[in-house]
Structure 1
Amino acid sequence: MGVWQTVGLVVVPVLAGWSALRIVARQGARALDYLSALFWSGVAVGLGLGDGPGWLLVAGCVTAVATVLAHLVVVAARRMNQPLVTVDPEAFRARLLAACTADGSPEALLAGVGPDGTVTVWGLEAVGIARDRHHLGGACGSCLLEEFVTGLAVDGEQAVEQYRAQLRRRANQLFLLRRGVISGDWTAELRPVQGFKAPYAYAPCRVHRY
């Protein structure tokens, strides 16, 4: 194998690893970094499976896995960087219900419990509830969300049953709530969490401690 061929084989995994590092450095801002990392990883794997050396196959697999992990790190960092706000559980639940039942309330929202047990709500910024990580003290975030959903949505109890079934499978879920245009009734359904899917491991209640 010539010098230039050897250099080329070394450069391929280096480019893949560098692209994966840029995902973390840039907080995943550029899709080009993802495409570059996966492309060069694929080239390394292809060469390793062909006439290339075996270490190239290993390097391609490592950089491909590193790209996925880099994406998960970015997602987790974005969520953890949201402000942490301590709230009273009952007051916060009442505030959510009031925001959704007042005149001019938003037509849809997302709500979920993070891997640290905090509650985050998306879609109520216009009524003064930011996308913060709401810390509930010693209360259970999943319990609060279930009470909120059953108190707001006409099919809330069914959604809560599905939510608990998914948590038992260690698959965290978000509640998507929508207000009917004609009836004005709220309905609830589940959406999978993007990124780290494990539910909060230290829930302060027996029902949600899996």
Structure 2
Amino acid sequence: MAGLNALLAVAVLVGLVWLFRWVAAGRHTVWVSALYLLVPGAIAVSQAYRFGPAWAVPVTWAVLGLGAPLAMVALLLGRFRIVAVQPAFLRQYVRHAAQVDGPQYIGLCVFSTGVISLTIAEPFRRGLFSLEAGCQLCFLEDQVKRIMGEDTPAVAEYRAHLRAGSNRNVIIKRMQPDAPWQVVMRSEDTARDPLRASACPVHGPLTAGAR
């Protein structure tokens, strides 16, 4: 029985390490990630006290005390780190995401600072990017047209929001493998104001009145 309890304790520790890596990947919000650490962590400690060998309790506490903060730090650093990229590099991410079979979610938002937020469901990718060349708003519209088609009304809708001084998070999604793509535009509390793209002949006039 002691050997089985020791094996179980090792399995729990391995599970915690996997959980730390999963949280650090940033698949959920900070609060949800913290909850994912808190609940399994409490269960792991409880199991160590109830069934584990003598070494399980201090080791479990040590793993939690070191791993949980490091996972949250990695999550926060990854969430707010801005990566400078060429447009072609970021375009590849979107193109590969659009080619994935099955349900898909692609979120694009241009902040007033020019930073582009990209979220992809499969394979998961979330990050902040700074384009080293070109207009960020043109880049977003190009990705919409590549997936939805050149004549998609989504571009005109997006520009109407920009003209009104209202930014939008553009979500391109497909619920089923054989379902058509859909575009949803949402207002974000953290990105209400659009970028003033004064250097762009297309979007400069549209965003001239933006704050």
The TM-score with structure 1 as length reference comes to 0.54
Write out per-residue CA displacement over residues 18-46 of structure 1, whole angstroms, 9 at most, x where no aligned residue.
xxxxxxxxxxx8xxxxxxxxxxxxxxxxx
Alignment map for 1:76-95 (pairs within 5 Å): 82-95=80-93
The equivalent residue for 1:174 is 169
The CA distance in 2 between the partners of 1:159 and 1:122, in whole Å, is 19
Write out per-residue CA displacement over residues 88-115 of structure 1, whole angstroms, 9 at most, x where no aligned residue.
10231132111221335x5223211011
Alpha-carbon distance, 1:122 to partner: 2.0
Alignment map for 1:2-13 (pairs within 5 Å): none
Alignment map for 1:54-203 (pairs within 5 Å): 82-103=80-101, 106-124=103-121, 126-127=122-123, 129=125, 131-153=126-148, 157-181=152-176, 183-203=178-198
The CA distance in 2 between the partners of 1:203 and 1:156, in whole Å, is 25
Tell me the number of residue pairs that the alignment of Structure 1 and Structure 2 aligns.
132
The CA distance in 2 between the partners of 1:186 and 1:136, in whole Å, is 26
Q: Is the 8 A contact 1:138 1:204 kept in 2?
A: no
Write out per-residue CA displacement over residues 170-209 of structure 1, whole angstroms, 9 at most, x where no aligned residue.
1001111111415243121211122441111245312122
Judged with a 3 Å threshold, the aligned counterparts in structure 2 of structure 1 residues 196 and 176 are, in CA distance, closer, same or farther, namely closer
The two structures, once aligned, show a CA RMSD in angstroms of 2.9
Alpha-carbon distance, 1:84 to partner: 0.8
Q: Is the 8 A contact 1:112 1:174 kept in 2?
A: yes
- Please list every run of 5 or more consecutive structure 1 residues that lacks an aligned counterpart in the other structure: 1-28, 30-77
Q: Is the 8 A contact 1:156 1:188 kept in 2?
A: no
The CA distance in 2 between the partners of 1:149 and 1:156, in whole Å, is 10
Q: Is the 8 A contact 1:93 1:148 kept in 2?
A: yes
- Please list every run of 5 or more consecutive structure 2 residues that lacks an aligned counterpart in the other structure: 1-30, 32-75
Q: Secondary structure of the residue that 1:160 maps to in structure 2?
A: helix
Percent identity for Structure 1 against Structure 2 = 25
Judged with a 3 Å threshold, the aligned counterparts in structure 2 of structure 1 residues 84 and 182 are, in CA distance, closer, same or farther, namely closer
Judged with a 3 Å threshold, the aligned counterparts in structure 2 of structure 1 residues 96 and 171 are, in CA distance, closer, same or farther, namely same
Q: Is the 8 A contact 2:94 2:106 kept in 1?
A: no
Judged with a 3 Å threshold, the aligned counterparts in structure 2 of structure 1 residues 115 and 156 are, in CA distance, closer, same or farther, namely farther
Q: Is the 8 A contact 1:154 1:186 kept in 2?
A: no
- Which segments of structure 1 move beyond 4 Å, counting only runs of 4 or more? none
Q: Which amino acid aligns with 1:127?
A: P
Q: Is the 8 A contact 1:111 1:120 kept in 2?
A: yes
